[in-house]
C-alpha cells in the first residue's frame, strides 16, 4: 500500500513539474498542454450557451446566452491566433447585434394572453 502511494506521489510531482515548466504532460498517451485544456473548456461553455439560447423560454435570457456564445466564439478565435476576428466578433456581434436585439425586444409591445395587468379593475374591461 505504501509503495502505491509513493508511486502516486512521484507521478503527481512529475506532472506538477511539467506543468510549472510549461511542458505538456502525458495522461494515458494523450499529450495535452494548458492551451488545449482551456480551448476545450471554452468550446464546451460556448456550446452549452448556444444550447441554452434555444432552450430558454425567456427571450431576454436567450439574448444574454447569445452574448455569452458570441464571447465564447471570440475567445476561441483568440486561441486560434486570429486576433482580428476576435476583435470583430466582440465589437460587432456582442456590441452591436445584441444591443439591436435588446432594443427590438424593448420597443415591441408584448401582450400576454391571460395577463391581468392591462385590465381595468373598476369596469372589468380591457384597456386599449
> Looking at residue 84, which CATH number applies to its domain?
1.20.120.1200
Q: Contact, 57 vs 112, CB < 8 A?
A: no
Domain tally, the chain = 1
In a domain, 94, yes or no: yes
Structure confidence at residue 31 (pLDDT): 73
Structure confidence at residue 5 (pLDDT): 64
pLDDT tens for the 128 residues of the chain, in order: 667 566 666 666 665 665 555 555 555 666 778 888 999 999 999 999 999 999 999 999 999 999 999 999 999 999 999 999 999 999 999 999 999 998 998 898 776 666 555 555 555 555 55
With 0.75 as the threshold, say if the pTM is over it: no
Q: CB count, 10 Å around CB of 67?
A: 20
In a domain, 84, yes or no: yes
Structure confidence at residue 62 (pLDDT): 94
- The C-alpha cell that represents 50 in the structure block: 448556444
Amino acid at each position: 500500500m505504501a509503495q502505491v502511494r509513493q508511486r502516486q506521489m512521484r507521478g503527481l510531482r512529475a506532472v506538477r513539474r511539467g506543468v510549472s515548466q510549461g511542458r505538456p504532460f502525458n495522461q494515458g498517451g494523450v499529450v495535452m498542454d494548458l492551451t488545449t485544456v482551456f480551448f476545450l473548456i471554452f468550446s464546451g461553455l460556448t456550446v452549452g450557451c448556444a444550447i441554452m439560447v434555444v432552450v430558454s423560454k425567456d427571450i431576454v435570457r436567450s439574448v444574454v446566452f447569445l452574448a455569452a456564445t458570441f464571447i465564447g466564439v471570440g475567445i476561441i478565435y483568440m486561441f486560434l491566433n486570429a486576433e482580428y476576428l476576435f476583435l470583430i466578433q466582440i465589437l460587432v456581434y456582442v456590441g452591436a447585434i445584441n444591443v439591436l436585439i435588446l432594443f427590438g425586444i424593448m420597443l415591441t409591445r408584448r401582450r400576454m394572453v391571460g395577463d391581468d395587468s392591462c385590465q381595468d379593475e373598476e369596469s372589468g374591461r380591457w384597456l386599449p
